Structure 1
């Protein structure tokens, strides 16, 4: 027994006495806010005053005798811990509702003293530890503990004493794995059972058929195996059945046809087999989700008569045959995704009859026929994807101009005709994919009015005429692929105004004229392919300023000198087939003439002397630095003159920081300095990075003998400007910089202290076991949002240049912070040409483009972050002996993308089976991030979006119905979120 137990007994006895005296309930309630605070507006506790009756307090209800019967503080932004001893001293309490807050601490066994409770809601909080035995709560009817932070073994045995339980919601907790609790099967009055994501394993017992009053049954995201039992057919009152993300096998049992009241059914991401015939009688279905299974056979024609059906998702199965002709024509149909099957026949014409359809996804099937003209009136469509089928005919003109569509994907079909001027009305269109068809005619000038376009891919068609000369108006355009057509005329000069473009491919056309010099001003252009055209003139010197990972100007009619900066090994073959070109350095081309009056020997002599001069300066600087460092040893930092620049309100002084820079406080070493932990007098902890200004020391010493330009002063000003920029960053996932303290010899950067160390420590040390998948996922999303802010949310984008798991720090709640901007560089948006000339970063995280160019952009950060995601999924370091010589984690992962088994084998063994599919979705994002060509990597905004789509067990929330007859909570998965990452 703990030391506090006698005290609690004393409090309880005094409270009991106080209750009998008439003022006890008031005293109990007034004591609760001592451990609970609210940030809600208005604050519910503002009405809790001694002079008022408790029955008038916000959240309190009383019976006719004035006794408190309900305490409901749900959704009141509460933090702190609940004193269950006090709460359960309210003698008439029947309802305790504290859901949707941020309450913490343990749920004490004293909860069992609330013996008159009928309604208990502790869900959606941050409690810890296990839930106690509560056998005394015999009158309980509603128990909501979902997503409450609980763990350990759940006391299923307590349910035996609650025969009147109507609603049981215990999902989204980290309980110890257990078979389906048989105690639940005796709760014959249950109408709501939510056990999603609570570590249930084994089979669904046949006894589930006893719960005939169930209207909602949710068992998703567990490790349930075996077949769906026949007895499921006894649950004829079911409104919702959720079984997704398990390991269910076999066919739908014969009893399924009895569930005629079923409106929402989701059994996606299992291993179900057989056909859908057992579902053909479920005429009340509103949502049907069966994607990623092994289902076969046809889609029952009866589905076309379902008059409530609005969502149908059957992608990634083995379904055959046609789609029902009348599918989706009755209700306000929302979306269909039947991609990656073997369906044949035509696209049903009437799915947008009610004008509400948003997504039509039927890609990768064997569909034929034309696109129904009815969809030209479907103004609500946002995604129209029919690629990789056998569709034919001319695209209805109105389809090009749908006002809300953001992707039109018609690739790999047999479409004919052209793109019409209607496309000017497609103001939301971001991606236009038309490759590999039989399109012809011009690309209309009006395409430049589709101002949201990010990608135009029209390769491998029969387009003719000139490229739109106004294409420069597309300020968001990132990717332009028009290769393998019959375009002619000049390359549009206005293309140089597309500041967002990174990938241009115009190969194998009949383009002529010169390469516009304006292309050299594109700040993020990474890939340029103009090969196999009729382009003439010289290569613009401005192309030397680009950060190109791919350059191909081969097989044209170019003349003149190949710029020396482009005469590198990475561009071997880039200029072949241009007999009019010459080069100073590429032996396969004729040699250009040297400048008059300068022989080759004199030219080489100048280069040699320049190199020797640079080496001499470096040696002198190093010697002076060593001498200076030796003199500084033993001298206190406080002897220097320091300049303090604060970026936030400071609660400490300069001396407090300087006095703490000593060996016993050292917590880390980096390439640019040491890191110290500082504990202030008020108990606040800080992290201080001490950086030696070695270049400045060298220059000061060298000035005594050699006149040197003021590069140290310039470097100091740049350092201060960079620190000031970083100090302005305000983001929850970027470490806080409080101030800088600088002297002539060194600088101190004062940051917030993160007690849980780095992600590297948590993944790759003995504490690795502490990182479960949900925490890893949250870290991935948080870190991605931090990088997204740096790239897209700052006034000038910030390139970190050393993203790695050791630079992702974790706070007390395991929330991530991007840290260590020692290598960060503010991108010069206006100039667009700023770059680093040293290889920055850490081995294993460095993007491959460093091998052939030092001019990198934010896509290098994306690559490094992809490596971090691979660490989170696999638990491996970026460099491991098991990968083999000269291989890293990226090449190791790519070598295992052969079978499902080999992919699953990469997932960290500490990640439970139920979450392995979630981990694979994050691994898929990591693979995209680590593409060899930078232009193929997504931007961080896209990375965040894809990671959010990969959220484990995505939940809308809870709707509380206070109806006298049905007091239940509808916990429904977000249907629209469960779509494949096909964009």
Structure 2
């Protein structure tokens, strides 16, 4: 009976066990649901609806980014690159007891990570990199199961807990770089992690010597220790790392030569030890036959390049500039692989240029300046259609330049200066549509300057000085609308200066000295809006000095030793010796070098008083008659010179914002007295509407495409017709609605003119405030500058992340950040902007677009650019705001910009606070130094190391000065 009872009860027992099991499963599921919902609550909903599936009615294993094990317990959280923002609650996540993987990298997460992270003892994979966290990294010692740890560019600061790495012996991947940790010695704790295959410690403030025990990490395939404060020799132990594929040691203070046995690292594909103080020969590298990229520049290496380098069949990038190498380059170098870059400048190389570096038609940069190369340019490079930069300046090269080189389609820079080249410039130079700079100075070139050069409408700078050119300057030179610098001095040019030169509205520097030019100086030169330096000395020019020169803003003028006559305008007498050697010139009063106009007149009158009086009467009457006619003509012309007034019915107006605007009122207001700015992109006028509102109107003549160029100006290719800049700005700005982007009210077009009507911003540009007036900048304490930085960052963030079609500005600089009456910033000038491809691929530009001093370094080796190029330019603006200095200053040194100057100062252990503008209040300099740190992130050499603009905004807001309150409405969208 008892047995029967037991069997009778067994089904009930099984049912009870099942019930308990289901309750357990339900309880477990509910706990994990609660934890994940709490985790979600700390995050802001991104643009992509990542959390659509994260609802209570759904099973947690079906949540986006969640992976469960067989028992439906949460095992992984994979939410990298999801545009997440907000904070991370580590204490709640660590309640997921079986959690093995947390991947939150490449988001916009902020705040600190608490010590509760220690409770995630099951973690094997942790990725928090590329975020904007703050505070210290918590101790990691309890995460003993970790195999993958990525905190790269995560925003953490303070002292890193190196000692806590001792227990993490399972680590295979460790990436801690690009964080502003406190300085610390080389971390010996890392040397116990013998399972590592990847170690990235670049740019995290490590100092001292690399430990000899680095050789313990024999499984390493990637070792990056760049951009630190490391010193001493490369240890012998590094030669034991025979599996290394990438070794980066650049931007340290390493000394000595390569250790014996370095050649055993035969698996190396990429090696960069540039910008150190290394020395000796590089014979140890001759065994590294798998190298694809070798960067040794800016060291003290010497000796010859091993002949074995000519047999490196995978080598693509080869950079040795600024060393002490001698001898010849192996003649086969670059002839095997898709060779794309060589820079051996500033050495003592001799012998001929290797002929086959473009055998695969991949070479983009051939840079060999300041050496002792001999012979000619190999004819093979005349077929190198991929070539972008050709620089062989200051060598002993000779012969005739191969004809094909002049017409290469992608070539933007030809620099053959300081050699012994001869022969003509081939007429096919007109086919070089990408050519921006042509530098042939100090050679033996001869013949005429081909008319076809006027077809190279991308040209920014021409220097043909100290050659043997002859004939006339092409009359069509006026087509070069982007030309900024034109040097033809010390040649044999004859004939007149072309009047069309006055159409080169970007010209800033003109030098035609020591030629055989004749006829009158064109008055059109005096009307050039950007002209700063003009040297026409030592020619045969005649006639009077054009009256238009009186109102020009020249800083240098030299007309000496010509045949000029007449009166020297008093406004030009500041150029004291600029008029000597012109016997026919005179001034109002006696001078050291020029005679008085009045004494000249009296002598003439004494010679033949009667005839002169009669002549003067007749001439005076004629002059009066002509003057009256000319006055009436000029008065009529002046009222119409800015813009031709057609029938108002011929104008087409497209309005983008509601504003009572009449095209008739605007067009009639475009007069000289309303002019507030000039530039290559057109004149800008201030117009007051009937209701009292003020607007700014940019006038662009159809058929023109111009931008000022030079040391601090924009480089850009000329595009077709009117539409290039006008249509670019209209397309971008008409769809943008953001308080930190300049507002475009409407566009007005006719057959020959185009107008863009903007909101009027009375405080001008940030450049003007920072660099053009001491009185202005003295009123800009850090509170104002910080607000400008945040506002401008939010404007760029909107362009990069908030627009339906994401926008690259491509010309971010302080002169394109305008300020309203409250000093709130607006991003302006979208003439170079591009809409990003929907695929998110990097944009391909046919020529450099941007401004010297602001352009990202990747322009030196690629035409592929993305938002990170804008981030770099914005970083330069931040440096301007913090230091008060221009992007390029004489005090930095030749070829040194503000980024290099700041980094070099910090490398010399200069305190960041010492770099802050002295006009900023002492109590705010520490706050400004925090923004300097952010600027260094933005101007990182590698684009991938720079934060996004969304991350930049977050970082700036995190360092808000306590006394500086940013307007909460600033980020709202209009």
TM bracket, shorter-chain basis: 0.5 to 0.7
Give the one of 5, 27, 32 matched to 1:25.
32
Aligned match of 1:951: 939
Task: Mark the CA change 1:387 to 1:112 in structure 2 (over 3 Å): closer, same or farther.
Answer: same
Q: Which residue of 2 aligns with 1:208?
A: 214
Residues 190 and 418 of structure 1: is their aligned pair in 2 closer, same or farther, counting only changes over 3 Å?
Answer: same
Match of 2:262 in 1: 256
Instruction: Indicate how the Cα distance of structure 1 residues 74 and 890 shifts in structure 2: closer, same or farther if over 3 A, else same.
Output: closer
Offset of residue 714 of structure 1? 9.6
| 1:241 lines up with 2:247 in the alignment | yes
Measured at CA, do residues 574 and 101 of structure 1 come closer, stay the same or move farther in structure 2, by a change above 3 Å? same
Does 2:399 match 1:426?
no
> Residues 548-597 of structure 1: CA distance to partner in whole angstroms, max 9, x if unpaired?
1111111111122223443x3x2222222111123324632231559999
Query: Match for 2:336 among 302, 327, 330?
Result: 330
Distance 2:892 2:882 in 1: 17
18-27 or 373-382, which deviates more:
18-27
Determine the C-alpha separation between the residues in 2 that align with 1:99 and 1:337. Answer: 36
**C-alpha spacing 1:139/1:349, structure 2 compared with 1 (3 Å):** same
Pick the aligned partner of 1:119 from 115, 118, 125: 125
Q: Contact (CA 8 Å) 1:257, 1:282: kept in 2 or not? A: yes
Q: Distance in 2 between matches of 1:531 and 1:492?
A: 16
Change in Cα spacing, 1:438 to 1:721, as seen in structure 2 (3 Å) is same
Q: Structure 2, unaligned stretches of length 5 or more?
A: 1-22, 603-611, 617-655, 659-685, 699-732, 746-759, 801-807, 829-874, 918-934, 947-974
CA contact (8 A) 1:199 1:223 kept: yes
- 1:752-791 residue pairs with structure 2 within 5 A? none
Residue matched to 1:541? 547
Aligned-residue RMSD, C-alpha: 4.9
1:436 Cα deviation from its structure 2 partner = 0.3
| Local SS of the residue matching 1:27 | helix
CA distance in 2, matches of 1:818, 1:346: 54
Q: 1:520, CA displacement in angstroms?
A: 2.6
Q: 2:53 maps to which residue?
A: 47
Is the partner of 1:573 in helix, strand or coil?
coil
Change (3 A) 1:541 1:23: same
Match of 1:229 in 2: 235
1:154 maps to which of 154, 160, 163:
160
1:262-291 C-alpha deviation (Å, 9 max, x unpaired) = 000000111001010111110001101111
Partner of 1:497: 503
Q: Which residue of 2 aligns with 1:485?
A: 491
> Is 2:876–2:899's contact at 8 Å kept on the other side of the alignment?
no
Aligned counterpart in structure 2 of residue 721 of structure 1, from 694, 709, 714: 694
Residue 716 of structure 1: how far off its partner (Å): 10
- Residue equivalent to 1:136: 142
Residues 19 and 25, structure 1, Cα contact 8 Å, conserved in 2? no
C-alpha deviation, 1:158, in angstroms = 1.9
| CA offsets 1:72-96 (integer angstroms, 9 cap, x no match) | 1100111100111221111221110
Question: In structure 1, what is the Cα distance between the partners aligned to 2:142 and 2:687?
Answer: 75
Equivalent position to 2:110, from 104, 108, 125: 104
In the TM superposition, 1:728-739 aligns within 5 A as none
Matched, 1:574 2:587: no
User: Which residues of 2 match residues 334-413 of structure 1 at below 5 A?
Assistant: 334-413=340-419
Cα contact 1:783–1:818 (8 A) shared by 2: no
Report deviation, 1:136: 2.1
Residue in structure 2 matched with residue 532 of structure 1 by the alignment: 538
Q: How does 1:855-894 map to 2 (within 5 A)?
A: 872=882
Q: Secondary structure at the match of 2:262?
A: helix
Match of 1:584 among 585, 588, 594: 588
Q: CA deviation at 1:392?
A: 0.5
Is the Cα–Cα contact under 8 Å of residues 807 and 819 in structure 1 kept in the other structure? no
CA spacing shift, 1:349–1:784, aligned 2, 3 Å = farther
Residue equivalent to 1:454: 460
Distance in 2, matches of 1:287 and 1:62, equals 42
Tell me the distance in 2 between the aligned counterparts of 1:432 and 1:246. Answer: 36
Q: Does the C-alpha gap of structure 1 residues 177 and 263 become closer, same or farther in structure 2, counting only changes over 3 Å?
A: same
Shift of 1:544: 2.2
Deviations 1:692-749 (A, max 9, x none): xxxxxxxxxxxxxxxxxxxxx9999999536899xx998999699999xxxxxxxx99
Residue 56 of structure 1 pairs with residue 62 of structure 2: yes
1:355-385 Cα distance to aligned partner (Å, 9 max, x none): 1000000000111110000001100000000
Give the whole-Å Cα distance in 2 for the aligned partners of 1:202 and 1:794. Answer: 40
Q: Distance in 2 between matches of 1:421 and 1:77?
A: 53
Normalising by structure 2, what TM-score?
Answer: 0.66
Shift of 1:151: 1.1
**Maintained 8 Å contact 2:137/2:156:** yes
Which residue of structure 2 aligns with residue 684 of structure 1?
A: none
Q: Deviations over 1:490-548 (max 9, x none)?
A: 11121111111111111110011111222233221221111111111222212223221
Q: C-alpha distance in 1, partners of 2:937/2:458? A: 22
Aligned equivalent of 1:267: 273
SS of the aligned residue for 1:23 comes to: helix
Q: What is the CA-CA distance between 1:793 and the residue it aligns to?
A: 8.4
1:102: Cα distance to partner?
0.7
CA contact (8 A) 2:737 2:743 kept: no
CA–CA separation in structure 1 for the residues paired with 2:486 and 2:582 = 24
CA contact (8 A) 2:792 2:825 kept: no
Structure 1 residues 807 and 270: alpha-carbon distance in aligned structure 2, compared to 1, 3 A threshold: farther
Tell me, what secondary structure is at the counterpart of 2:372? coil
Q: CA deviation at 1:908?
A: 10
- TM superposition score normalised by structure 1: 0.65
Distance, in Å, in 1 between the alignment partners of 2:370 and 2:243 is 37
Q: Which moved more, 1:551-560 or 1:236-245?
A: 551-560
Q: Secondary structure, in 3 states, of the residue corresponding to 2:300?
A: coil
Q: Which of 41, 46, 58 in structure 2 is aligned with 1:34? A: 41
Please give the alpha-carbon distance, in whole angstroms, between the structure 2 residues aligned to 1:33 and 1:112.
21
| Structure 1 position 561 matched with structure 2 position 549 | no
CA distance in 2, matches of 1:784, 1:341: 45
Partner of 1:91: 97
CA contact (8 A) 1:438 1:461 kept: yes
Q: Say if 1:785 and 1:330 are closer, same or farther in 2 by CA, change over 3 A.
A: same
Instruction: Give the Cα separation in 2 of the matches to 1:951 and 1:541.
Output: 47
Q: Is the 8 A contact 2:567 2:597 kept in 1?
A: no
Q: What is residue 290 of structure 2 aligned with on the other side?
A: 284
Relative CO higher for 1 or 2, CA cutoff 8 Å, sep ≥ 6?
Answer: 2
CA distance in 2, matches of 1:254, 1:77: 48
The answer on whether the counterparts of 1:295 and 1:317 sit within 8 Å (CA) in structure 2 is yes
Q: Could you tell me whether the CA contact under 8 Å between 1:431 and 1:455 is conserved in 2?
A: yes
In structure 1, distance between residues paired with 2:287 and 2:810: 55
**Secondary structure, in 3 states, of the residue corresponding to 2:335?**
coil
Larger deviation: 151-160 or 223-232? Answer: 151-160
Cα 1:512–1:749 change in 2 (3 A) is closer
Counterparts in 2 of 1:187 and 1:894: CA distance versus 1, 3 Å: same
Question: Matched residue of 2:109: which SS?
Answer: strand
2:445 equivalent in structure 1: 439
1:254 is paired with a residue of what secondary structure?
Answer: coil
The 2-side partners of 1:776 and 1:166 are apart by 44
Residue 350 (structure 1) shift: 0.3
Comparing 542-551 with 419-428, greater Cα deviation is found at 542-551
CA shift at 1:258, angstroms? Answer: 0.6
